[in-house]
Amino acid sequence: MDLDFNPEEQAFCEEVRQFLAAKLPADIRDRMRRGDHSHVREDIQQWQKILHAKGWGAPAWPAAFGGTGWSKTQQYIFENECALADAPAQLAFGIKMVAPVIMRYGSAEQQQYFLPRILAADDWWCQGYSEPGSGSDLASLKMKAERDRDHYVLNGQKVWNTLGQYADWIFCLVRTDASSKPQKGISFLLIDMRTPGITVRPTRLLDGTFEVNEIWFDNARVPAKNLIGEENQGWTYAKFLLGHERTNIAGIGASKRELRRLKQMATEIIKAGMPMLRDPVFSSRIAQVEIELRALEITNMRVIFAEAKQQAPGPEASMLKIRGTEILQRISELQVELLGAGALDSSGAEAVRATSTYLNLRKLSIFGGSNEIQRNIIAHMILGL
């Protein structure tokens, strides 16, 4: 497989780099470099509006819905260059998760209302999948949605909801038929977060931030017109969404950025009279993770080529999820190990960033379907176990 970009793709790389150099606000870039998420909503929305003004607001969307119409390779280049330039990641819950579901399964009315608002960053979306006792075993979810004429009445709880404290809308999997098999009685609803009966309770994480939430629904009434597709068919739509989520979780651009940072740190930190990048043991560990990242990139390109031929992600999506999260975690571990006792220095900006990142990234091997579950999926799809 030839992984070198052709002349047109190389020219596109340069175009993206020039755009990022000219249009990415310096204050946003600097906060991203410091790991400062104090303005996360403002930064992500401002960057999305800048991209939208350029016509680049939805790299993976078809042009018919206001997207770029880019090839899979162009999308890959764009995401990598944005990560390397320390641009904020686009809000995946809207752009990459619920929007493809609305495009594929939503009504014309839903498409006409929601998609332009997602593109213009007018609405902030979050995800309502996991519940207490229903994480990787998502089909066991219990949150009820009972039909009452032209509304659904919702009761239950969602957990590990990322950035829901900022959200205008949430897409939820709900139980609309408790009498059928678990996967058969689930529906997919779009819910206004301002609906009476919805309570958001932030959860403090290991790194001290409030990134995830519990969300409670107490007789919250949601218009039936906000149902995606058919009632009790939500499991089909959820699987479609999760295939895209697990591909995105590979995070190759982020790993490249953090590997570059690791190498720079190893150049600057002196131990035993020499830079750690020249230490044969530590440098070999850096080389090992770089090789693994390169192998992951090759696998990711294979998925890109398959999707370009209209083939849905198969076991490769789970492979990308597993290896991508493990590699990024390992890079963060090496950064903290490199700092040594200095990682505990709360007055050092690099130490705070590295330690906070290390703690935050522990979640990667759990969300989006735990890595243990992904290995089961691979065994089933490839080995038939």
Active site residues: 245
DSSP E strand stretches across the chain: 125-128, 144-148, 151-162, 169-175, 186-192, 198-203, 212-223, 270-271, 274-275
Query: What tokens appear for 9 in the block?
Result: 């793709």
Query: Which residue type does 151 have?
Result: H
> What is the bridge-based pairing of β-strands 151-162 and 212-223?
antiparallel
Q: Are 174 and 144 within 8 A, CB to CB?
A: yes
The Cα diameter of the chain in Å comes to 76
Query: What tokens appear for 23 in the block?
Result: 């249009």
Exposure string over 312-348, b if 16+ CB within 10 A, otherwise e: ebeebbbbbbbbbbbbbbbbbebbbebbeeebeeeee
DSSP label at 132? T
Query: What tokens appear for 335 in the block?
Result: 């950064």
Q: How far apart are CA 164 and CA 194, in angstroms?
A: 12
Query: What tokens appear for 348 in the block?
Result: 């050092």
